[in-house]
C-alpha cells in the first residue's frame, strides 16, 4: 500500500491516503525504496532525522536504526551507507535478513 509523508506542526509522520500510519515523530522524513530489488520485495523504508541525527524506520514506523548517524544514504542491493561523526568515510552496512540491520563497528571484520 502506498505511503506518504505528512507534516503536523514542526514534525513529520507516515500516512496512507486514508489514515495516519504513525503520529508525527521526527524533524525530517524521506521515504526510500530498494529500486535495485523492486522485483523481489515491495518493502519500503524511510530515513528520518531527529535532533540532528539520522536513522532508518520501515513505513509502518518501526525503528530499524536509531537516529545516531550524521547521514543515511542510498539503499542499494541490501545496503545503506551510513556516516558516523567519528568516522572519516562512508561505509556500507548490510541488511542481514528480513530487514534486520546490524551496523558493524570498526573492530569487526569486514568481508
Query: Tens-digit pLDDT profile for the chain (111 aa)?
Result: 578 888 999 999 988 888 888 888 899 888 775 544 443 433 577 888 999 988 888 888 888 888 888 877 766 665 666 666 655 555 555 444 444 455 555 444 444
Task: Summarize pLDDT for 25-52 with one digit per residue, the tens.
Answer: 899 888 775 544 443 433 577 888 999 9
**Cα–Cα distance, 62 to 45 (Å, whole number):** 10
Residue ranges per structural domain of the chain? 4-101
pTM of the model: 0.65
Are 55 and 47 spatial neighbours (Cβ–Cβ below 8 Å)? yes
Per-residue b/e over 68-80, b at no fewer than 16 CB within 10 Å? ebeebeebeeeeb
Amino acid at each position: 500500500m502506498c505511503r506518504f509523508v505528512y507534516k503536523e506542526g514542526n514534525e513529520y509522520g507516515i500516512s496512507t491516503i486514508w489514515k495516519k500510519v504513525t503520529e508525527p515523530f521526527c524533524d525530517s522524513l524521506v521515504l526510500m525504496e530498494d529500486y535495485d530489488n523492486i522485483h523481489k520485495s515491495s518493502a519500503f523504508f524511510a530515513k528520518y532525522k531527529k535532533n540532528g541525527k539520522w536513522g532508518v524506520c520501515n513505513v509502518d514506523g518501526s525503528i530499524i536504526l536509531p537516529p545516531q548517524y550524521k547521514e543515511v544514504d542510498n539503499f542499494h542491493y541490501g545496503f545503506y551507507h551510513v556516516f558516523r561523526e567519528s568516522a572519516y568515510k562512508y561505509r556500507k552496512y548490510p541488511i542481514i535478513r528480513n530487514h534486520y540491520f546490524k551496523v558493524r563497528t570498526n573492530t569487526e571484520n569486514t568481508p
